[in-house]
């Protein structure tokens, strides 16, 4: 009898623990929830208009951060186009989201080139760049791998790099990592959930 009582108590405790986990506050995201991560805390770069920018400049908006380069044949334009579709799904709430594109190729991606490339996807999108050292520092902060791959000529090189997008909430805290290939609808759902938190 005592053994049954002990087992019943254990089961009840386990059930309460499980239910407590289910009742965890906050939304459930499609993307990887990295709330509380000790990385991806910000950057110090220049935008495509020549203005110095840090993450703090965008406080009050949900901010997405993607690293790439303008000569990228597939992953980068696809990611930017997907983000544009997600913002379209958000409707008026899209005005409360800032999309940032950080180039990993400052050698070729001048401010002028970023100004011509990034806003093509949406006029609100911002391209960011730095010198080689600032680029490396930003990539390290966001745990982004990148490596130059030689082409047939010195200027035709490409870059292998991490794909995926980080999302900061309106207070500037990193919250999500969106895997490359995620659907616009799921991205929009996650952004809407973060916007609802204020």
Q: Which residues are annotated as a binding site for Cu cation?
A: 72, 76, 161
CA proximity to 93, closest of 172, 183, 191: 191
DSSP code per residue over the chain: -HHHHHHHHHHHHHHHHHHHHHT-SS---SSEE-TT-SS----EEEETTS-EEEGGGGTTSEEEEEEE-TT-SSHHHHHHHHHHHHHHHHGGGGGGEEEEEEES-TTT--HHHHHHHGGGT-TT-EEEE--HHHHHHHHHHTT--EEEE--SSTT--EEEE---EEEE-TTS-EEEEEPTT--HHHHHHHHHHHHHT-
Binding site, annotated residues: 72, 76, 161
Q: Supply angle C-alpha 151, 156, 161, rounded to 5.
A: 75
């Amino acid at each position: 009898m005592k053994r049954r009582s002990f087992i019943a108590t254990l089961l009840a405790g386990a059930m309460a623990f499980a239910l407590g986990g289910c009742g965890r506050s906050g939304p459930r995201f499609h993307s990887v929830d990295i709330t509380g991560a000790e990385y991806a805390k910000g950057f110090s770069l220049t935008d495509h208009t020549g203005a110095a920018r840090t993450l703090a400049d965008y406080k009050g908006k949900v901010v997405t951060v993607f690293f790439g380069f303008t000569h990228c044949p597939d992953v980068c334009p696809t990611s930017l186009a997907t983000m544009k579709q997600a913002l379209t799904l958000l409707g008026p709430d899209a005005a409360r989201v800032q999309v940032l594109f950080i180039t990993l190729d400052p050698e070729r991606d001048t401010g002028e080139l970023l100004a011509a490339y990034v806003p093509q996807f949406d006029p609100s999108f911002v391209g960011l760049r730095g010198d080689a050292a600032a680029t490396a520092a930003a990539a390290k902060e966001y745990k982004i791998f990148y490596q130059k791959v030689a082409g047939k000529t010195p200027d035709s090189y490409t870059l292998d790099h991490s794909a995926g997008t980080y999302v900061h909430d309106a207070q500037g805290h990193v919250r999500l990592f969106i895997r490359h290939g995620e659907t616009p609808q799921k991205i929009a759902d996650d952004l809407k959930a973060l916007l609802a938190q204020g």
